[in-house]
Each structure stands twice: as structure tokens, then as C-alpha cells.
Chain A
């Protein structure tokens, strides 16, 4: 072997070695049974997990959720001296924002100018000029998102998900990816729950009766309810007289409480959303909240009815979740809830003192434990409570109790978040597509190899060799990049196989052409390669440009496709131009071949 060949061989072997080496963890991980996995040390498993090609959620099953932070709500929380004008401004802003893809703060500034809103009036703590305030609010928003990410990370960790990905997207979104999650409903509520715990005093029966009478009077005089109903798309709007919309007629007595039938909830909300009624409640420092779940009762006619309890509470919380230091799931030992799961909370020392003061001052009153604006229970305070212990009861399952304990420990989100995009793939669907995809890839590859070997004979073997190595090296690169393989990524693999076969075909056809012209084998190979290279480079580079652009601008799946395609192009050019060339040169240097099998 001459020197030139030897250097090339070493280079090729080095690169092949690197490819196989970087694929090694993936192979090992794939073939590892769960049993054996449990025998490995944690570090080893972590190393393997980190260095394998990850399967995307579309293949593996899991949930991908994009949460959007409610920035209008954040602005509302930060503002002081709010008046009617500010409310209108904020309403318009949040409407525009939910229909507009632009930056929130650009919209904010534009709206403030359009509506001639004096920002310093509402945000005196954040600066004196419009620019200063906007700048400061941006920082606040950023801070809020970072806190949200931290809290969600915390919740996910406690929930126990392997390899969660949580990242910020743009200025107001958080992407959460949880692979292999079975119960997506539970995971979703865990992520979304604001986890705002509030302890609120329940208003006494007299003032509740008074307010119900007052609301009845107001609701009767206003007819804006009908207008309201027509804009709520798809609600079953039945034509009912004004009398049926009376507040009190919707309510049912349930023991000492008042309740509302599940089917009447929208009517209740329509009444409570009326401006005059909002004002009335504000003026009396009160609010209505519902119980967290409906209870089934049998009514006088023997039918089942699902009923929510309606609570009339003080508007402001006596104490909020910030004081909670620990929350654990317990099974209640005594009382009516014995045997049911409860969440037991401990408060910080400052919180405990405050709690003792509140309970001391409100003996014989009821206190509602409110989580995310839903009342979980409203026990009567019998005596002053020291030591900061409190419980939450009325939970449906141990899972629910665990999740509440998790969110309470991890802390409340500073601003609510909403899901703007979600993709859940059930594990079975993902597994099916992986299996079917892999099998058909292998069958397809075998057919291609069979075809080129039949068509090109000996040279077909060389081409097949180069195609297989292209795939191995490409997977190796993906493992090195710690890339995630998704369905579009598989498309990229197919295209790569296609392009790699193509490069070989271009070369072979050229060599054949040169042979037909009567050239000797060595010079036909030389000339064939030389001419084919320009074609291959041009064709691949153009596609490479497309891949690079797609990588830059594309989102999620498109990006995955672009990564595979880009590296596929580089790898297939390497195997077609350098590796197969080496094989041809090696064969022809050893013996004087008289006929090339091509």
C-alpha cells in the first residue's frame, strides 16, 4: 500500500471509529433490559441517557406543552391606583395581545400612547417616564418567567419525570417536554395550576342573604344578560324569562350551605359578570366562589343532580400560600373524612403567628381554604390554632392530594399561565410508529441494497457499504450532538439514504461512460470521480443551503428535519467521495484488474 492510500485509510478508520464510538451508548441503552438497567449505578445510567440519540415525543410518547405567561395579568398585578380608564386599556391590550403575534411590550407602549394613558400614574414605583416604566416592567416580566420556570422545574422534579426539558421561548413562553408520561391529564393540571392558596373568612348568613336579595333586584332591572349570552358561542341559550335569571332562584339549600346545579353554572357566571353586580360585591368587600368539585344529590323527583356549593367570602385573603413551608399527604384518621386523603400543611414561624392571630380573632366563624379560586373546605374555627398546622380535605384521590402537596411545596406561580400549544402522544401510538418506521426503513434499505448490487454487481457492494456507513456515521453525529430524533427526522434519514445512493450512482454512471469511451480502468475511475464530484458538490450544497435556512427559521419538527438533512449531506459526501474512492483505488492498486464489475 502506498503512502497516500495509507493516510486515507487511517483517516477513514479514525472517522468510522469515532462514529461507532459515539453510537456505542445508544446501542447499549437500546439493548439494555429494564432489569439490567436497575443494576447499573446512577452515574452510568445518566451517562448513557445523556449520550444516546433521544427519541422525540412523537416517537416515544409524552407531552409537549407550551405555556404562555399571562402578561396582561402581571401588568394588572403590578399597577396601583387602577381606575376605569386603566381597566379599559388593559382589556383592549389583552384582547389585542391574544390575537396578535407581536411583542407584548411594543403593544403595551403603543396602546398607552393611543389611549393617552399616563403610565406614571399607575406605575409610580417603576419609574417616572414611559420608557423607564416599560423597561422596568420588562424586567419584572422576565423575572416572573424565570421564577415560573424554576417553580415548574421544581414541580416536575417532585412529580418524578425522567429527563424533563423546560425552557424559555421568546419573552413570554415556557416549553415543557415530559417524555413517557402516562397520565397526561394529571401532568397538565400539575403544570397549569397557579397553586395560589388563600385562607378567607366566610361571610355570615345574614350578610349573604342581604347580598342575594340585592343581586336579585339588580339583575331584574338590567337586561344585559341576554346580550351577554349571545356572544358566548355555542352555549345552549334557551329562551327564558327574566324571572328564571333571578339569582336566588338558581340557588338551592344544601344543609347549612347554598348550592347550585352544575347545569346552571353558566347562568350564575353571567349574572356575576354584570358590571353593576361586580360593583356591588366590590363595595361590600365580598365575592362568590364555588367548591372544587360537585357533589351528587338525589332531588325531590328522585333524579341525580350534581351540585356545587356556593360560598360568599371576604374579598381579601387573610393569609396566602407564601407562608406554607411544607405540605404532605396523609390519610385522615378521624372525623367524617376518615380514610380519605388530606394534605397537611406546616407554616413558617411568621405564618404560624399570623394564623394564630387570625384564628383567635375569628372564633366561631368559618374559614375557607381556597386553592386557585376553588374552595376546598370551610370549617368553623372552634379555637385558636397555634403551631401553624392546617389541612386541606375534600380531595377525590390520593393522586390529587399528592399533586396539591407538590404544587404547595414548589410554590405558587407569580402569574397564571395558559396552554397555547400542546401535543400529547400516547405511549402506544409512539411505540407503534417507531416499530413500523424502523422495520420499513430496514426493509427499504435491504431492497435498495439488493437493487444496486443486482445492477452494479461488485461496485454495488461498494455502494451499499458506503450507504450503510452513511447511516451509521449520521446516527453517530446525531448522538454526538445529543440530537432528538423525530418523525420528520426519519424523513431526513430517508432523504439522506436517497442522496447517498444517488451520489454513488452518479459516480458509477460516469465511470461507465468513461469506460465506454474506451479508457483504461484506472483512468476511467479517476475521470469518473473528477467529473462526478462537481455534480455531487453542487447538488448537495444547494440542498445544504436549504437545510441550513430551515434550521435557522424552522420551529420544532422542521428544525429536527433540517439537522438530520444537513449532517446527512456532509456525511454522505464523505462516504461517497472519499470512502468509496479509497475502496476503488485500493482494489485497483493491488491487482491489475482487467474488467471492472460495475
Chain B
């Protein structure tokens, strides 16, 4: 099959539109993030409890069971905390912020209270009732956020360094811009959905970084190769040519990756879903950004320097 060869699409003609779209999306994402990003307990500290009832329950019901939680003689009203379904109407996830004088084994205490109150809808074996329980102290949360941020930033710096050596500094800036663009916009769309950011979703974001980087380098590599013969005169044409030449590869790779991700999104189960969703958005944006951000940036910067 060969319908993707010899395309002559003038990608760079839409460069301005691309920049505008990206800027709009980026600003929108920053606004979304400022409005409130749904950070999971990994970064904020707190307790997260997943419970599996033996029959369907309403969120209201669970919430009212949280009104009067007694642990070691201390009473807590947790009815204002986040409660949502997890996969089915009989499984729920409860996210509780951390308290200053939290008693020992707070999460288990909460579970025990709910179990007592909603006993008629809970499975007999308490171990089957508990799907998951996570507790992170605010201190550890701060540490984890610091580590995650630090690792992403240092990876970006090293990549910048490598591309500068192998290509040119300007290429590196383009590639990093594309990466930041991808992460930012995916984060924005991610926070629109209300999924929360956990260490696992960070891994998904890193996957996007890897993927988008791969995609960008392939195109930049083509541009570098074509530059050898045609230099930077009519640079936009060279860039267009390069993108067209690698278009077959770009589309096929994106398509195959999307295939795996979509299957994962549909059949992968509740835990993997936010993860697969992030990757799907990231792959689409990553493909787009290789063309319009990384290459588009090169086109503009050479235009202004020539």
C-alpha cells in the first residue's frame, strides 16, 4: 500500500493558525490548572479508600454514612469529602484530605465505621469490602511532588543538551517547546475530565514525553538531512518537504499506537483508564506538535534570522 507517498501538503502555510490554536489551548490549559488541578493524595497527602459493596449504592448514602465517623473517641464529619463511583454503581472511591491530628490507622477506622453503618449492603468478609486503601502523609506528599518535578525538569534539560549536540541549539529549543506544549495541553484536558493526578498518571505523562520526543526527532532528523542539500534558503519548503516525506511514518506509527491505547481505554479496566486516556490525548497532541510546534518554530526562527 502506498497512498501516503508523494504527498505535497503545505503544512507551514497553516503555521500561524497552528500557533494561534496552540497558544489558545495552552492558555486555556494554564487557566484550567490554576482553577484547580485535581491532585491525588500522592502529592497532597490524604487518604483514599476504595470500597466494594455487594449491591448498588447511592453516593448520597455513602456520604451520609461518613457524617459521623468515630475513631478512638474522636469524631469526624467527612460528608463533605469526595465520593465517586469506581467502575460500577456498587464500587466507590472516597478521597479524604489529611487532618492535623489524624489518629493512627485513620483510613482503616473510616472503613470500619462505614462497614458497621452500611452492613446490610456490604459483603460478609470485610477483606472483600476493601478494594484499596492509600494513605500519604502531607510530608511524604511534598517529597513525592518534589521528586516527580525534579526528575521531569532534569530529564528535559539533558534532552535539550543532547539535541543541541546532535542537531543544533535551535532544534533543541523547538523540541523542548513541543514537549512542554504537549504536557501542558494534555494536563489541561486531563483536568477537564476530573481524573486525578497520581504517580501512575505521571508515568503516563512521561510516556507522552517519550512518544512526542520520538516523533519530533524523526521529523527534525529529516529536516537536518534535507538541510544538507538545500541549506536554509526557502527553509519553509525544506520543512514542508521533510514533513511530507515522513508523513507516512508519522501517521502509521500514531495509528498503531492509538490502536493499542484505544483497546486499553475500552477494555483495560478502571485503574488503567485515566492512564490510557492521558496517553490517547498525548499521542494526538504529540503528533500535531511535532509538525506545528517543533517544525513551525524552526521555520519562524530561520525566517527571522535570514
Contact = CB atoms under 8 A, between A and B. Distances in A.
Nearest to B268: A440
A506 B263 contact: no
A491 B275 contact: yes
B52 interface: yes
B275 A487 contact: yes
Q: How large is the interface on B (under 10, 10 to 19, 20 to 34, 35 or more residues)?
A: 35 or more
A189 B105 contact: yes
B202 interface: yes
A556 interface: yes
Interface in B211-256: 211, 213-214, 217-218, 221-222, 225, 245-246, 248-249, 252-253, 255-256
Contacts of B101: 232-233
B interface SS class: helix
Contact of B214 (A98, A454, A539): A539
Contact of B257 (A498, A535, A552): A498
B150 A516 contact: no
Contact of B264 (A68, A424, A494): A494
A437 B269 CA distance: 7
Given A421-B135, A513-B245, A429 B271 contact: yes
Nearest to B130: A426
B121 to A, nearest CB: 17
A491 B211 CA distance: 12
A553 B132 contact: no
Given A491-B207, A565-B206, 14 more contacts: A99-B138, A100-B139, A182-B127, A184-B127, A234-B75, A419-B137, A422-B133, A435-B269, A436-B268, A440-B264, A444-B261, A494-B261, A538-B217, A561-B203
B139 to A, nearest CB: 6
Interface residues of A, number: 96
Nearest to B137: A420
A474 B292 CA distance: 34
A264 B72 CA distance: 11
A448 B260 contact: yes
B272 A539 contact: no
Interface stretch (A213-221, A315-323, A336-344, A540-548): A540-548
Nearest to B132: A425
A558 B202 contact: yes
A422 B130 CA distance: 14
Contact of B139 (A420, A423, A549): A420
Interface string A403-420: 000000000000000111
Given A184-B130, A498-B211, A234 B76 contact: yes
B5 interface: yes
Contacts of B211: 495, 498
B74 interface: yes
A7 interface: no
B60 interface: no
A456 to B, nearest CB: 8
8 contacts: A422-B134, A426-B50, A428-B128, A506-B249, A516-B5, A546-B158, A553-B150, A555-B148
A550 B152 CA distance: 7
Contacts of B221: 534-535, 538-539
A139 interface: no
Interface of B: 1-2, 5-6, 50, 52, 70, 72-77, 99-101, 104-105, 107-108, 126-128, 130-140, 142-144, 146-148, 150-151, 154-155, 158-159, 162-163, 166, 199-200, 202-204, 206-207, 209-211, 213-214, 217-218, 221-222, 225, 245-246, 248-249, 252-253, 255-257, 259-261, 263-264, 266-272, 275, 279
Contact of A543 (B213, B252, B264, B270): B213
A interface SS class: helix
Closest 10 CB pairs of A and B: A265-B73, A488-B203, A436-B269, A444-B260, A553-B151, A424-B133, A444-B263, A549-B155, A539-B217, A498-B257
Interface of A: 58, 66, 68, 98-101, 182-185, 188-189, 192, 232-236, 262-266, 269, 418-426, 428-429, 432-433, 435-437, 439-441, 443-445, 447-448, 451-452, 454-456, 487-488, 490-492, 494-495, 497-499, 501-502, 505-506, 509, 512-513, 516, 531, 534-535, 538-543, 545-547, 549-550, 552-558, 561-562, 565
Contacts of A58: 200, 271
Contact of B260 (A494, A512, A531, A565): A494
A509 B155 contact: no
Given A185-B108, A429-B50, A546-B210, A440 B263 contact: yes
B98 to A, nearest CB: 11
A444 B217 contact: no
Nearest to A183: B127
Given A184-B130, A188-B105, A235-B74, A433 B166 contact: no
Contacts of A66: 140
A152 to B, nearest CB: 17
